[in-house]
A and B are shown apart, each in its own frame.
Chain A
Amino acid sequence: MKQKKQLMTSSGQPVRKTPLATRVWNYRGYYLMFIPVAIFVLLIYYWPMLGIRYAWFDYKPVGPKTFVGWKHFETMFATAAFWTAFKNTLQLSIMKLLITTLTAVVASVFLNEMNNLLAKKSLQTIIYLPHFMSWAVVAGIFSMLLSPTSTGMVNGILKDIGILDPAGNGIYFLASKAWWRPIFYIINIWKETGWGTIIFLATLSGINPELYEAADIDGASRMQKIWNVTVPALTNTIITVLILNLAKVMNMFESVFVLYNSAVYDVSDVISTYIYRQTFAVALPNYGYSTAVGLFKSLVGGFLVIVCNQLSKKTRGRGIV
């Protein structure tokens, strides 16, 4: 039988552990201060979680809540639309993460290379601004720009330069399965690249200038300095950013919700929008089913957090949670 390890002092004497009750009494002031925090955490974070139990119930706006066991999970796994949404969530989120991180790195490197401080600050401000726009406004702007009607600027240009037949129909970018995802990524790049540069620019400002001086002495060109000094210095930050954001990939909703439509559900519907339609687009929703789908989403999200935490420990020496 495994024996409990006895704590010893530096002189080899066993440590006498004070009884719990005595320790609580000795530190009663701290415990008293902690009580409101504990109550707040329990009420705000944990009490609502009790709603998870409805994943095993038929729960409609009216009528009794009936226990149905694993029925909702069986229905969910047998529903093609759920799997489409699940795959889309992973594909859209991960692609978006990779693309926006890459563009943020590129933008940061180029901003870092700019010598004109006024131009650099102005450009930074300009590319930050879209981040502060709500997704509803962004969707309104891009819907107008990409409209297939005569008000659509992009189709107008394509017709003017002869790519599209001036008398023909324009491309309905947001209703095309082929175009929806590229457009979605472009909009995300436009909106989030500037914000993403903040952390990389902070890292770049911390690179030891002696490295660049050494490169100059070695006769390195500007591109060689970027490739051999700047980019390696950013690697750890890039990995950190990717890992931290990977844990959030299941949370995609608003950006898709404002841009998608029934013509592109196959390539755009994500778990959150699927849940939304199941809950809010029917006269008599079954909240039990929505909760089951939401719970599954949370479990996958929780698993990703654990994976990212392990990856973070390996790459950075410390976890994220």
Chain B
Amino acid sequence: MKKKVVSAILVAAMAMSMVACGSEEAADNSNAGANGTEAAGTEAAAEPEAYNLEKITMVVNGTLTANLDNRQDAFEQQWEEAVGVDLEIKQLDHSGYTDAVGRLFASGEYPDVILLSADQYAQYATTGILWDMTEAFDNAEFQSRMKYPEVNEGLKKDGKLYGFAPAYGNGCVTYVKKAWLDELNIDPSSIKTFDDYYNMLLAEKEAHPNNYGVIAAGYISGEAPYTNYLPEFWQDAYPALLQDENGVWYDGFQTDATKAAIERIAKGVADGVIDPTTLTNGTKDARESWFSNNQDGSAMCFTYWAGTWYQTLTDNLIKNEVDSELVQLEPIAEVGAYINREAPVWAIIDDGDGNNAREQAIFDAFIETMLDGGKVQVLWTYGAEDVHWSTKASEGFTINAGTDKEKVYGPYEEGTFYLLPTPNDPNSVWKKNAMDPALVICPLEGDYANFASTSDLASEGNLFFTSHMKDAPTSPASEVYTNYAGDIQTAKEVCIASVVNDGVSVDDAMATYVATVGSMVEESLADLNSAE
């Protein structure tokens, strides 16, 4: 009996395995088909085959401001009508975006296009998952209207472009509350050096012991450019792996410039001019503390994103009924220029079948149209027509009606471009969608050329930044570094915190850093330098 059962099981197993082999064979055949297509694709490289693109799945973070609460459906519908392709938007949580993208890829749910930060781009570029769009980019129609070609040139890895930046990166500038400056009788144009800046912070501390000179989101930022929230203290230091003038990679964290910067931060905290909660603050914590309606315990200066955020910060101060006038501080001599971060990029996922037809079709439908100078570019820049903006004749609208913050917009004549109230907050005016009009690398054209944001502050902010900026160093792209990036970043944070909060000498803290992750840094540098 037992033998019969065992025989039956063996026969069943054999049958199953044969079915499985058959499936595998079928799969192999299908792969062969793909390879066949690859061969055909290679043969037909000179004459790209047509690809019937029906749908694009995109993954994006919170920078697509036309989110679900702000009529994303209208944006999506108008984009689909303009391009003729179905668009599925997966908008992931902004603060956990890096992690969410990792999990998405690990689960095998690859979108067609994805927005990546400079850090993510540098680390994913070498993995083979991103499509090499160099040729498509070089042949793109928008090249003829390109204002800032250097933005995407700087993104190339070994001469290949794996991600496309439709705008330059933007950066942070230091905002100072004007009412506080006036109270101290300080003329902002007199702040030329770090000593001037530091004395201004000390003067505020002396006048209002509960207040602070400056608040930030961390002594060191968690992503590139790491110094942008406390630029006056970091000055010429750049605490990351970077290249010298000969192209040799070295650890900027172990330099004397970084040591001096850490000592300045420690002194700032000890003197009470840097809000000590900076250690644990996220950007939201720092922002909300700075424009809080209770200004007792708040800070005088806040270094944050330029352009649109100039308007947003001012709006929030107005909303909280505190003095709202801000001064954009020119970079002090030791800083020289504010850092323009590496731009976030749109990348196309390579399906690995060796045939570029699908990826090229996605490029044409998604990236080429993004900078078409017309309707689709306006969608990405300002959002959906008659939802976020309009050109129809209107008597205008009023925000904060019946309050002392009441403001009337309009009337508008037919054909005049104007922004409408924000869908989920009718008491504020819509500012922009995913692309900042002041940062975009190709301008709007034709009927759309005169479309411009009505926010003077945002325009003023952008102009201020572009006239006081320098490009951030290139992020390292190395598999070895990728493996150690988390440990190295943790060690940096611990090193800085031990000096600032525990009074450890900067040399001792740096020795601990070297003992903890020195070998990882050396290994990463060796890998980067061997690849150059």
Contacts and interface: CB of A to CB of B under 8 A. Distances in A.
Interface of A: 59-63, 79-81, 143, 147-151, 167-170, 172, 174-177, 261-266, 277-287
Contacts of B98: 280-283
Nearest to A166: B209
Instruction: List 5 tightest A-B contacts by C-beta distance, closest first.
Output: A61-B105, A262-B493, A263-B497, A282-B486, A150-B210
Given A63-B128, A281-B486, A285-B102, A172 B209 contact: no
Interface of B is mostly: helix
A39 B210 CA distance: 63
Contacts of A278: 486-487
Given A263-B498, A283-B485, 6 more contacts: A59-B106, A61-B101, A63-B129, A149-B275, A277-B490, A283-B482
B386 interface: no
30 contacts: A61-B101, A61-B102, A61-B103, A61-B105, A62-B127, A63-B127, A80-B515, A80-B516, A148-B277, A149-B276, A175-B501, A261-B280, A261-B497, A262-B279, A262-B493, A262-B497, A263-B498, A263-B500, A264-B497, A266-B494, A278-B486, A281-B98, A281-B99, A281-B490, A282-B486, A283-B117, A283-B119, A283-B122, A283-B485, A284-B123
B272 interface: yes
Contacts of A59: 106
A35 B494 CA distance: 53
B276 A172 contact: yes
B391 interface: no
A61 B486 contact: no
A120 B209 CA distance: 45
Contacts of A172: 276, 279, 501
A55 to B, nearest CB: 15
Given A149-B277, A175-B280, A281-B486, A62 B497 contact: no
A81 B482 contact: no
Contacts of A79: 487
Given A281-B489, A283-B120, A283-B482, A62 B105 contact: yes
B42 interface: no
A281 B96 CA distance: 9
Nearest to B269: A169
Given A263-B497, A278-B486, A284 B297 contact: no
Contacts of B400: none
A294 to B, nearest CB: 15
Most buried by A among B99, B128, B222: B99
A183 to B, nearest CB: 14
B124 A175 contact: no
B99 A280 contact: yes
B532 interface: no
B297 A285 contact: no
B501 A284 contact: no
Nearest to A58: B483
A169 B296 contact: no
A280 B486 CA distance: 9
B276 A287 contact: no
B245 interface: no
Contacts of B482: 282-284
Interface of B: 96, 98-99, 101-106, 117, 119-120, 122-124, 127-129, 209-210, 212, 222, 269-270, 272, 275-277, 279-280, 296-297, 482-483, 485-487, 489-490, 493-494, 496-498, 500-502, 515-516
A174 B501 CA distance: 11
A284 B121 CA distance: 10
A281 B487 CA distance: 10
A286 B483 contact: yes
A175 to B, nearest CB: 5
B106 A61 contact: yes
Contacts of A80: 515-516
Most buried by B among A61, A168, A278: A61
Interface of A is mostly: loop
A14 to B, nearest CB: 23
Contacts of A150: 210, 296-297
A176 B504 CA distance: 12
Nearest to B121: A283
Contact of A149 (B297, B494, B501): B297
A168 B270 CA distance: 9
Contacts of A262: 279, 490, 493-494, 496-497
A91 B493 CA distance: 23
B124 A62 contact: yes
B102 A283 contact: yes
A282 B276 contact: no
Contact of A177 (B96, B212, B500, B502): B502
Contacts of A266: 494
Contacts of A143: 280
A285 B486 contact: yes
Contacts of B296: 150
A241 B130 CA distance: 54
A23 to B, nearest CB: 15
A170 B482 CA distance: 39
A315 B500 CA distance: 50
Nearest to A176: B501
A263 B124 contact: no
A284 B124 contact: yes
B102 A174 contact: no
Contacts of A168: 272
Nearest to A266: B494
Nearest to A260: B280
A61 B280 CA distance: 29
A263 to B, nearest CB: 4
A60 B104 CA distance: 11
A81 B516 contact: yes
B276 A62 contact: no
B65 to A, nearest CB: 24
Contacts of A63: 127-129
Contacts of A263: 279, 494, 497-498, 500-502
A43 B41 CA distance: 43
B102 A284 contact: yes
Contacts of B209: 167
Contacts of B494: 262-263, 265-266
A253 to B, nearest CB: 16
Contacts of A60: 106, 127
Contacts of B222: 281
Contacts of A177: 502
A11 B97 CA distance: 75
B493 to A, nearest CB: 4
Nearest to B500: A263
B279 A175 contact: yes
A42 to B, nearest CB: 19
A147 B500 CA distance: 16
A40 B483 CA distance: 37
B351 to A, nearest CB: 13
A269 to B, nearest CB: 9
Contacts of A170: 276
A63 B124 CA distance: 10
Contacts of B124: 62, 283-284
A280 to B, nearest CB: 4
Nearest to B501: A263
B92 to A, nearest CB: 13
A282 B124 CA distance: 12
A278 B103 CA distance: 13
Contacts of B498: 263
A60 B128 CA distance: 13
Most buried by B among A60, A284, A287: A284
A115 to B, nearest CB: 46
